Structure 1
């Protein structure tokens, strides 16, 4: 479901509902604390980098994982990715095969990441990590799982959608958070704030405790594919964390948006929905356009009629990330030397 508007009100004036929901938020917080305190935090023989967030829903973790894979590969590493495979039916551990698996098997995000590096899906993240290490990974990137205690981490990156930040600063269902901001940031090594310049500036001002950590600013930019978007009559649809970001990007590229449909994040596109999209686009005389993540959930025969707009992460300042990766790889290299 789409998040309620009161989640993103000013935290200084959150309104009545967050107060009424506070007991349930306290229960959620207590359960998360208990799970994190219990562990087991299994340590693998290779370093583990966790890319997670403090909020429910999308924040830009998948583009961050893709960018991280590129960076690690450029350093001569062999990264593998592990994921729970949200929305997929396979319990794993299983290595994602993009020619054989569907989003219904392994989830949409693993399918997006698979062209960049080997991806392992499992409900048990420790089992996925062991499978990746045995298959030759010398560094593991954990997609999501910041609140999951299965594996010890060598580097924890908290990704934030700077456009909404941490919302009203309250834990679900009183707000959008999985855990209180101070507790989450205490376990973070780096914060990655993704958004437009004015959004990043507002986030730094509103949440100075996050900006006080090693801090990277980034934005999502359309991938140059040679597609001419200028004047294209588009009927845009998306089931991501904030669909309006996608619609705004299309408009900035020059597309004429004649209709939009927003769906739940990770939502299933069944025959009824697809027929309605086709009919709406046909009535408007428009081309269906969607995101890479949504395209991964579409049937092959339907996907052929949809134009996809891919985006990639562009880091504005990356010094903090470089320093953290240097630290991580130096520490693990020293540890390996002691064991010889």
Structure 2
């Protein structure tokens, strides 16, 4: 099937590469983009959050731009209010980002960036948008899952790539490989001579210690749910039950009650991701209080070489501001 669809994939990819080469609008502040080569999850949001923390440590005031996947807040731009908005309003990623820095949701990236600047942002971080040319991007970081890599190397719909890898590699600034796996030895990535950073996802220590050695029923509706399963195992928990759902899955109260019952029957805790938890938060009041309540297992992306990341960010900021002043 992939071979049959390959011609469509290359046509789709060629259009995407051409679009990526277009110049975008300037916002007056540096614009950093965290994206990926493929459709689906690779760890973009945790990476964007980690970069924001490093920029804040340098005295910068970052703001996030998100498309607000599945949100109903309107075309935007909308400044996310975590105390008022739900995942149904602005999308699950936007709520996670808003805990760290001002977050604007909207389809029009230029308008969203203008609003970010009005909030006082000194640098804008795009959570996704590597293939979107509307904004001039001063740092383009491609996130690659170490295990999944680039799949079969073909473009949508024949494979997961959004455009031919060679064309995408030519337009990015650096690559981040998250976790171990085949991607760490990918010949095309290694031959690109782009800076390569590595990182790993680590569960929050307090919750990890609470789950260590205990049975859990785990569930996740993210791009790569098996990554969460691996995280649960890494903290030392025993997986007594496991359910995976599509990315951005909209849970029903009945689904959560069934998960509660399953956990109760197995004498296990009920655990999910932070991203899933913000989606189920409005349903928690409707759950059985006598059965295991869903718990979020928070985590963070830890870079193996934070100095290399800081150097990359500092240089990108310096170069971007030089270009802005020259205009």
TM surpasses 0.5: yes
Distance 2:190 2:92 in 1: 29
* Distance of 1:301 and 1:179 partners within structure 2: 39
The corresponding residue for 2:269 is: 287
Output one character per residue of 1:56-91: Cα deviation in whole Å (capped at 9) or x when no partner: 111011111111011111111110000101121122
Preserved contact between residue 10 and residue 163 of structure 2 (Cα < 8 Å): no
Q: Cα gap change, 1:19/1:338 in structure 2, threshold over 3 Å: closer, same or farther?
A: closer
Question: Quick check: 2:153–2:159 contact (8 Å CA) kept in 1?
Answer: yes
Is 1:57 paired with 2:12? no
What pairs up with 1:1-340 in 2 under 5 angstroms?
17-37=1-21, 39=22, 41-90=24-73, 91-196=75-180, 199=181, 202-210=182-190, 212-225=193-206, 227-302=209-284, 305-335=293-323
**Structure 1: tracts of 5 or more residues without a match:** 1-16
Which is further off, 210-219 or 294-303? 294-303
SS at match of 2:314: helix
The 2-side partners of 1:166 and 1:258 are apart by 31
State the TM-score, normalized to the length of structure 2. Answer: 0.91
Once the two structures are TM-superposed, the CA of residue 337 in structure 1 deviates from its matched residue by 5.9
**What RMSD, in angstroms, separates the aligned Cα atoms of the two structures?**
2.0
- Is the Cα–Cα contact under 8 Å of residues 175 and 196 in structure 2 kept in the other structure? yes
What's 1:11 paired with? none
Paired with 1:229 and 1:209, the residues of 2 have a C-alpha distance of 37
TM-score, structure 1 as length reference: 0.88
Q: Deviations over 1:188-226 (max 9, x none)?
A: 101000003xx2xx3232234346311101100111225
- Matched residue count: 318
Question: Using a 3 Å threshold, how does the CA distance of structure 1 residues 272 and 30 change in structure 2: closer, same or farther?
Answer: farther
Partners in 1 of 2:297 and 2:261 — Cα distance? 21
Whole-angstrom distance in 2 between the partners of 1:299 and 1:78: 29
